[in-house]
């Protein structure tokens, strides 16, 4: 029996193949559209994908296909560096001469072949079908030929072939094997060496790079006084308590937070444990005297502000949550909605403050940064960021910290946080501000994060995905003494 498009081999010379419409495969089409939006419009995968999935679900896409599309987008973007090197070894021209949509289809195919459990024949045929739909028959043939070459070896064999030997060029080797830009490998290595001098060798760096390529758990925060970890654990019995924060609950894989009552009512939210620890450490630092008015000077979209506001409410203190961008200030207002204690949300520039010097007892600035500490969550960020971006953030980070110091009264506490372990955004900023700002005592943050291993020599702390299971948050705490 012959089906449309397939004929007995003996016929193949005589009859031309009847035209067959390519099969539409919603998961792979959504994945392709998401990758195109990331490439063409600088879209963020975590924003564009949910909207494409909603649209496809309205047309009947089921949950399994939605899960497949999500895995394909995130997995392909994370491992793009490795896949590009492998694809380049399978074609006879430089990668930059391949049209970006073709490259996206090839990378999607490489991901299915080399990293997922999809059988090779299914991965090739489904990706070639996708190519027929989105690229046309001619280019689908090219895709077919390249994917067949890729399917001849597994990922480790390919990487051993395409990465330069470690001994010849360690950073390039790790960049290709672990799919990070070389400059990011270099920066992470420098930072790891600063914080973990005894454990910053090749093995530790590889653990970190691997952790960046893993899908992060979804962690919830039970906002104090409004919900408890026990309530969240009851709502999701298959979830687990956080490792470090008493307010954290880690959802089991695939766990959707949206249906949980406490989340719907804003009494709990989604928040990485590293961010929770930053807010908890700031709240735990000792201030001298009055402790009534707290400031979050870079509050948008409001995760840390919501936790700080709840902690402040428990102590009879109030939070001012300030954010420069009005649309992000609106997100902060939403995050704080229902907080049991007093709070104010304002749109203000932390470098030209809307408050008198010395107003606050505790101040946090969680400054804009490269985000190199959250590569697990933002799979495209590593490819989009450039080393020059750091020079752009540096002056603002220093000004925001100086502004935070001025905003805080003598005896009060200031926290400087970034979601980046890059030394230019952490130690270099703090060293410069300490040098030109008299009357600042650097507080040891380590005792304020009880139980966490590997916090180094202090007084500041750097969290790590591979050691703590958190984003790579940095925190330095100061007391204003004069």
Asked if 323 touches ligand SAM (CB under 6 A), the answer is yes
- Identify the residue whose tokens are 């030394």: 423
What residues from 357 to 376 belong to the interface with ligand SAM (CB under 6 A)?
366, 368
Asked if 25 touches ligand SAM (CB under 6 A), the answer is no
**Alpha helix stretches (DSSP H) within 3-93:** 26-41, 45-58, 63-78, 80-90
Asked if 299 touches ligand SAM (CB under 6 A), the answer is yes
Asked if 325 touches ligand SAM (CB under 6 A), the answer is yes
Least distance from ligand SAM to the Cβ atom of residue 307, Å: 8
Is residue 16 within 8 Å of residue 114, measured between CB atoms?
no
Asked if 308 touches ligand SAM (CB under 6 A), the answer is no
Task: State CA 449 to chain mean position distance.
Answer: 22
Q: Out of 300, 412, 421, 469, point to the residue binding ligand SAM (CB under 6 A).
A: 300
Long-range contacts of 250-256 (CB under 8 A, 24+ apart): 250/217, 250/218, 250/219, 250/220, 251/217, 251/218, 251/219, 251/220, 253/215, 253/217, 254/67, 255/218
Asked if 39 touches ligand SAM (CB under 6 A), the answer is no
Least distance from ligand SAM to the Cβ atom of residue 442, Å: 21
Q: Segment near ligand SAM (CB under 6 A), from 235-243, 300-308, 405-413, 433-441?
A: 300-308
> In the structure, how many helices (H) and strands (E) does the chain have?
20, 12
Is 369 among the catalytic positions? no
Any binding-site annotation on 214?
no
Least distance from ligand SAM to the Cβ atom of residue 172, Å: 31
Any binding-site annotation on 444?
no
Number of residues that bind ligand SAM (CB under 6 A): 19
Least distance from ligand SAM to the Cβ atom of residue 299, Å: 6
Q: Segment near ligand SAM (CB under 6 A), from 106-114, 190-198, 296-304, 451-459?
A: 296-304
For 305, counting Cβ atoms within 10 Å of its Cβ (0-12 exposed, 13-18 middle, 19+ buried), the class is buried
Least distance from ligand SAM to the Cβ atom of residue 435, Å: 22
Collapsed DSSP state (helix, strand, coil) of residue 196: coil
Least distance from ligand SAM to the Cβ atom of residue 129, Å: 41
Cβ proximity to ligand SAM: between 194 and 402 the closer is 402
Alpha-carbon span 468 to 397, nearest angstrom: 25
Catalytic-labelled residue, pool 419, 443, 467, 476: 419
Residue nearest to ligand SAM (CB): 300
Is residue 228 within 8 Å of residue 216, measured between CB atoms?
no
Any binding-site annotation on 323?
yes
Cβ proximity to ligand SAM: between 29 and 404 the closer is 404
| Residue 149: its H or E element | helix 137-150
Asked if 301 touches ligand SAM (CB under 6 A), the answer is yes
Any binding-site annotation on 304?
yes
Exposure pattern of 338-367 as b/e (b: 16+ CB <10 Å)? ebebebebebbebbebebeeebbbbbbbbb
Query: How many C-beta neighbours within 10 Å does residue 394 have?
Result: 16
Collapsed DSSP state (helix, strand, coil) of residue 417: strand
The DSSP secondary structure of 292-361, one letter per residue, reads -EEEESS-TT-HHHHHHHHHHHHTT-EEEEEESSHHHHHHHHHHHTT-SS-EEEEE--TTS-SS-TT-EE
Asked if 379 touches ligand SAM (CB under 6 A), the answer is no
Asked if 125 touches ligand SAM (CB under 6 A), the answer is no
Pairing of strands 360-366, 293-296: parallel
Binding mask 57-96 for ligand SAM (x = CB under 6 A): ----------------------------------------
Cβ proximity to ligand SAM: between 170 and 346 the closer is 346
Query: How many C-beta neighbours within 10 Å does residue 143 have?
Result: 22
Cβ proximity to ligand SAM: between 415 and 469 the closer is 415
Exposure pattern of 207-220 as b/e (b: 16+ CB <10 Å)? bbbebbbeebbbbb
User: Applying CB under 6 A, which residues contact ligand SAM?
Assistant: 275, 297-304, 323-325, 328, 349-351, 366, 368, 419
Catalytic residues: 419
List binding-site positions. Answer: 298-304, 323, 349, 366
Binding-site residue numbers for S-adenosyl-L-methionine are 298-304, 323, 349, 366
């Amino acid at each position: 029996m012959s089906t449309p498009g397939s004929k007995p081999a003996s016929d193949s010379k005589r009859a031309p193949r009847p035209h067959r419409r390519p099969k539409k495969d919603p998961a792979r089409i959504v994945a392709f559209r998401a990758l195109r939006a990331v490439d063409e419009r600088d879209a963020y995968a975590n924003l564009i994908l949910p909207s494409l999935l909603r649209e496809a679900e309205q047309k009947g896409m089921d949950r399994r296909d939605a899960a497949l599309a999500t895995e394909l987008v995130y997995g392909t973007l994370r491992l793009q560096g490795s896949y590009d090197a492998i694809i380049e070894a399978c074609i006879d021209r430089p990668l930059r001469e391949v049209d970006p949509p073709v490259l996206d289809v090839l990378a999607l195919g490489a991901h299915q072949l080399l990293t997922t459990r999809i059988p090779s024949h299914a991965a090739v045929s489904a990706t070639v079908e996708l190519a027929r739909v989105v690229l046309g028959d001619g280019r689908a043939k090219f895709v077919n030929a390249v994917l067949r070459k890729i399917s001849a070896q597994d990922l480790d064999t390919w990487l051993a072939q395409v990465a330069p030997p470690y001994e010849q060029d360690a950073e390039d080797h790790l960049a290709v094997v672990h799919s990070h830009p070389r400059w990011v490998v270099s920066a992470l290595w420098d930072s790891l060496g600063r914080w973990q001098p005894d454990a910053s060798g090749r093995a530790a760096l590889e653990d970190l790079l691997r952790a960046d390529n893993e899908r992060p758990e979804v962690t919830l925060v039970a906002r104090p006084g409004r919900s408890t970890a026990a309530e969240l654990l009851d709502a999701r019995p298959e979830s687990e308590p956080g490792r470090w924060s008493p307010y954290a609950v880690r959802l089991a894989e695939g766990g959707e937070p949206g249906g949980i009552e406490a989340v719907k009512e804003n009494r709990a939210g989604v928040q990485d444990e590293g961010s929770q620890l930053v807010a908890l450490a700031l709240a735990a630092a000792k201030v001298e005297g009055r402790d009534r008015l707290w400031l979050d000077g870079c509050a948008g979209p409001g995760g840390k502000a919501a936790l700080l506001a709840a902690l402040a409410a428990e102590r009879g203190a109030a939070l001012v949550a300030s954010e420069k961008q009005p649309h992000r200030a609106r997100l902060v207002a939403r995050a704080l909605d229902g907080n049991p204690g007093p709070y104010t949300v304002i749109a203000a520039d932390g470098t030209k403050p809307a408050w008198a010097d010395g107003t606050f007892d505790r101040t946090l600035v969680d400054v804009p940064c490269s985000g190199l500490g959250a590569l697990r969550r933002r799979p495209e960020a590593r490819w989009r960021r450039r080393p020059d971006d750091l020079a752009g953030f540096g002056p603002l980070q220093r000004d925001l910290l100086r502004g935070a110091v001025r905003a805080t009264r003598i005896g009060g506490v200031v926290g400087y946080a970034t979601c980046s372990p890059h030394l230019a955004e952490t130690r270099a900023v703090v060293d410069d501000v300490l040098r030109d700002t008299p009357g600042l005592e650097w507080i040891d943050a380590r005792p304020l994060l009880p139980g966490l291993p590997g916090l180094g020599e202090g007084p500041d702390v750097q969290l790590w995905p591979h050691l703590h299971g958190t984003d790579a948050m940095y925190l330095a705490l100061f007391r204003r003494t004069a």
